[in-house]
Structure 1
């Protein structure tokens, strides 16, 4: 029996057992390579909404990662066509991305040397929609509350952002910052997990440092799970204190900050130090982007006030467009 016919049988049964999963492994790994057609058969089985033995949740991400990352030429580089193929397979059933499907995307992003930004955007948008609607990236039995960011969703967002450390971009991108702002705006009145405030402030501050002419800390450092906002001394001693150690005192300050915070990032210290821009002033375009982004919903959130306080402390000249916002941070 071919894999396609085997999948038809399992869909008709409505159940995939542990023995079935072993058989699927023989089909796809038996000849040493996985084809796109075999990948499509796996997604067809996944989209059938059968009952699955636990091993299925490991098999699907593993198989797709082999197909798109390990078999890629050059190895590790996911092509635009393959990224589009993956997104199309996930959305073929017309349903919101499930947790199993998100795990597939995450495994590809984590294992790839480089992947199209569209794939990361798809993953971030999937978690965003789950947070806003209360459905989507969950396993059976795990319920979401619409409009509230749970600890689980914070960790999913962190994992997606951290996975991009393998790409050419070290800093948080504008696309990533925009999506985080969207989530923050939509959940400002909610009882969000405390970890959300920390992730939002650290990630967007990382982007703002790049906007301001700094070489920001690596994603490994910036997205580490720590309660920096609650450190003694308030903002100065927490998130602001960290970035202050990274970006004051010349290149030595950068190296010492990297060495204290992350041994991996420390290895990049010399290269990063050489790339630090001399201009620390927020430009007019950058200032207007920040004003428009913060003022989009007409509110000033505590997370946004923390970002503005950080800019006020670190930038030698504050653009006039930011002054009205700065005055509201006291």
Structure 2
């Protein structure tokens, strides 16, 4: 199956285009066994690099296939390991830039879908968008938006999706890295005609960092999930006997069970965590004062941010 898939991709790459028939054949071959292998994924990257034009149908397939390989190619499912993130970045960054919207969308969708992604991948995506804002070139600037130092609607959407993604530091958890990037973009584009979505994005993002959830353990690590899945899948006699004993003795063991495995934790109480996170700490206040005072004045967006914090405080 892999050999035929790669041959199909190579023939399309030689022509510099993917016909509807070739795309259908790739879909059938790719999903025939339910797995996109590393060799197949690399063949798709080579094909994407060779294309003169990328149709929406191709972008949809490319994003879906690469995401399936990264998130579900190896256990545990819906996790992107450090090694997988480095492989993905190496495939995209071979010439130092993100060539196409297909590649950018591929990374963003993985961050959105994943239960956990390395900081390296998220930081890489945001750095690419920041570079495009400042240089005015890149995959988000198709359609004539080639002037530098302004923020387009496409860039606002990507930034919002990444910083609020489930595969970041926690559900809707904006980091200090993200907040400082938003401040840098604001300072560089303050006098420009930014997209209408930008003002709300800046205020929402920085306010979330200052007053958002404090979920230190929101994510289950890649290694820990592997351990949990291996234990759950183990049907050896020893594990079966152990689980049976737990079931039989559950009424009697009480706190002893907790001493062995730790106190059972239910789902996070997000309402309580949000309430806990509402107070802006002294450290956060000092950080905000430093960011706002960097240019010696309070601009309109900073005023809106301060008003939001005061209203919610």
| Category of TM-score, reference length = shorter chain | 0.7 to 0.9
Q: CA separation in 1, counterparts of 2:47 and 2:191?
A: 40
- 1:272 aligns with 271
Q: CA separation in 2, counterparts of 1:278 and 1:191?
A: 34
- Show the 5 A alignment for 1:126-205: 126-138=128-140, 141=143, 143-164=145-166, 168-205=170-207
Shift, 1:70, TM fit: 2.7
Relative to structure 1, is the Cα distance of residues 278 and 177 closer, same or farther in structure 2, using a 3 angstrom cutoff? closer
Report how many aligned residue pairs link the two structures: 260
- 1:322 aligns with none
- 2:238 aligns with none
- 2:284 aligns with 286
- 1:261 aligns with none
- 1:28 aligns with 30
- 2:301 aligns with 303
* Aligned partners of 1:158 and 1:199 also within 8 Å: yes
Relative to structure 1, is the Cα distance of residues 139 and 15 closer, same or farther in structure 2, using a 3 angstrom cutoff? farther
Cα shift readout 1:14-49 (whole Å, capped 9, x = no counterpart): 222111112222332223211112111111111124
Q: CA separation in 2, counterparts of 1:304 and 1:290?
A: 10
Q: Secondary structure at the match of 1:55?
A: helix
Shift, 1:215, TM fit: 5.9
Point out the structure with max Rg over C-alpha. Answer: 2
Higher RCO, 1 or 2 (CA under 8 Å, sep at least 6)? 2
- Show the 5 A alignment for 1:55-94: 55-94=57-96
Q: Secondary structure at the match of 1:77?
A: coil
- 2:20 aligns with 18
- 1:45 aligns with 47
Q: CA separation in 2, counterparts of 1:53 and 1:152?
A: 18
Q: Secondary structure at the match of 1:95?
A: coil
Q: CA separation in 2, counterparts of 1:164 and 1:142?
A: 32
Q: 1:119 aligns with which of 107, 118, 121?
A: 121
TM-score relative to the length of structure 2: 0.73
Relative to structure 1, is the Cα distance of residues 168 and 72 closer, same or farther in structure 2, using a 3 angstrom cutoff? farther
TM-score relative to the length of structure 1: 0.69
Question: Over aligned residue pairs, what C-alpha RMSD do you find?
Answer: 2.9
* Aligned partners of 2:165 and 2:172 also within 8 Å: no
Shift, 1:201, TM fit: 0.6
Structure 1 unaligned segments of length 5 or more: list them: 217-267, 316-330
| Runs of 4 or more consecutive aligned structure 1 residues displaced over 6 Å after TM superposition | none
Shift, 1:197, TM fit: 0.8
